[in-house]
Structure 1
Amino acid sequence: MARLITHLRHVDLAVPDFEKQREFYAGVWGLTEVATDSGLSFLAAEGSPEQYIIRLRKAEEKRLDLIAFGAATPADVDALAERLGKAGVQLISQPGEITTPGGGYGFRFFDVDGRTVEVSADVATRQHRKIEPRESIPVRLSHVVINSPDIDRTREWYEKHLDFALSDTLGHPRIGDVMHFMRCNPQHHSLAIARAPHVSLHHISFELRGVDEFMYGTGRLLRAGVRMIWGPGRHLAGDNTFSYFLDPHGNTVEYTTELEELDEDTWHPQVHDFTKPEVSDQWGTANQIDEVITRESFNDVDRGVFVAPPV
């Protein structure tokens, strides 16, 4: 299937305690700060060609600033902007030059829930390196999960306007669907949409080299006193490992590895019963999911809905 969006580039966060957040991601979490500006920090994964995968911005209120995706060419960026404009999607900016690290050509718009989304092409690649055995730092950004009060509406919007496809769904026998896993390439999901009482960030996931590195990284964070809320384990949908932690501002962040790659021509989405223990954790090694974990995943109400970030 031909898509205008190719992959997930970066996730941008605004936080009141900028220095504390910056110290966490550039320190124990294992990212590399590659550029700074007044109240801004751009953090890269050593194994990724992306210029950066996390941007931090100092702000009075915590919020998700934006989610950025890649496109193959400037022509694809223009085609997507034209499509969204004709469909009545609110554009924040028209396609043009991007001035963040790596440059490029792109534009921003609001999704159906009011999140800011950026799509760009021609961003210069960063010199990166092979992550060595037992080196327990992120290789790349894996996926992002967003909270929505109406996950079917949000799913349909991403399918219609951005060509995302449904890979799988988590369902509950009493309350219905609770999460949709969406893909923009053969990876099982680059985006997932979770059921929640309000619009917010659910979690950001970072890919490690392999299971060994995933476990070393999990252990390093635990020894450093970072709060782990769930894990380590292995999900059924996506078949990836998971250890979920909280960053200093209460955002859930995940170490993962071995996310499934699909044959898109033959794949058929399934609905997995989330109440079955093997669905949430095939290994049976993680702590049981409970109300505390669920509440942490709801996160704080996002104050950035239909408000474009200043940079």
Structure 2
Amino acid sequence: MSTYWVRRPEGIKMSSHLITHLRHVDIAMPDLTQQLVFYRDLWGLTEVANDSGVHFLAAEGSPEQYIVRLRRDDLKRLDLVAFGAASMADVDELAAQLVKADVALVHAPRALDTPGGGYGLRFFDIDGRVVEVSSDVAVRKHRKIEERESIPVRLSHFVVNSPNPEATVAWYEQHLGFRLTDTMALPHMGGFMWFLRCNNFHHSLAIARGPHVANHHVSFEMRGIDEYMRGTGRLLRAGVEKLWGPGRHKAGDNTFSYFLDRAGNTVEYTTELEMIDEDTWHPTVFDATEPDVSDQWGTANAMNEYVASKSHNDPDKGVFVAPPI
């Protein structure tokens, strides 16, 4: 395997580590009914609240109030991606840093009226996505996922497409304090996916090179290998289109089975995402032409143009437009 160390881009000043974890991903689409049935009845999430056609879905094993929010809209779009902060003071500090850096706020820190409440702000990232950062959200009563129970334990990570990923990576490093864990590269194009962390999970966010701004995939952690395979089988038996998998990636050492939801977004069942020691970790560039980098097991279908195009998704219609809720 070809590996080498990479350096952080020159001139990037790190913010303090104010982001603690990934909370939820909120998406909108024209056909809300089919999407709700998919995530609740097939994917294995639990509807915990709904308000005026907005549905909040939790993972039974997660203390987060919800990990997916669904909303009907005439356009297919990402409403927002939400991260946690440790305290109201950290939210205020982040807001002050963003304002000083001329980052456009959707709203300043305030009390939130979504399930669990809390205190948070929203702002646009460099590509026009809405990002929310919140603290003091009430913990949801959750439970241990049992053996052979093939439903998500928690939200694992979120991957987005950017036509200028180097700038997007630098933006998240500079303004939100994310750290580069690893990079995937191809000889003819260089880097095409950057894995970023905000805690000791290998990645909570990744940035992929794509033709336009869009969601790449949303990943959900399962209890273990058996539960991951049972969930994969349930989706296959239900006739849900599988894009790629089952297999096991090199970067992150996690399993993968990618499917399409009812709006054409890619979603993933995974498990065993690598935990790292931040004090000793050095980023590595992985050569994706080596077969075991994409899939250590050799069990997944080949990554081809069709799989790649579906992962590129449709252009996000919500860029630099704040969601109504």
Q: State the TM-score, normalizing by the size of structure 1.
A: 0.99
Q: Are residues 1:32 and 2:53 paired?
A: no
Q: Are residues 1:17 and 2:49 paired?
A: no
Note the 1:188-267 alignment, pairs <5 A.
188-267=202-281
Q: Are residues 1:164 and 2:202 paired?
A: no
Note the 1:13-162 alignment, pairs <5 A.
13-162=27-176
> Which residue pairs with 1:304 in the alignment?
318
Instruction: State the alpha-carbon separation in 2 of the partners of residues 2 and 238 from structure 1.
Output: 24
> Which residue pairs with 1:182 in the alignment?
196
Letter in 2 for 1:152: E
Q: Are residues 1:284 and 2:298 paired?
A: yes
Q: Deviations over 1:20-66 (max 9, x none)?
A: 10010010100000001112000000000000000000100110000
Shift of 1:3: 1.2
Letter in 1 for 2:236: L
> Which residue pairs with 2:10 in the alignment?
none
Q: Deviations over 1:193-229 (max 9, x none)?
A: 0000100000000000001100011011101111101
Percent identity between matched residues is 68
> Which residue pairs with 2:286 in the alignment?
272
Match of 2:139, SS?
coil
Letter in 2 for 1:214: Y
Instruction: State the alpha-carbon separation in 2 of the partners of residues 248 and 294 from structure 1.
Output: 18
- Please, which runs of 5 or more residues in structure 2 have no aligned partner? 1-14
Shift of 1:2: 5.7
Letter in 1 for 2:129: R
Shift of 1:276: 1.1
Q: Deviations over 1:170-213 (max 9, x none)?
A: 00001111000000000000000000010000000000000110
Match of 1:92, SS?
strand
In the alignment of these two chains, the number of paired residues is 311
Letter in 1 for 2:235: L
- Please, which runs of 5 or more residues in structure 1 have no aligned partner? none
Q: Which runs of 4+ in 1 moved over 6 A?
A: none
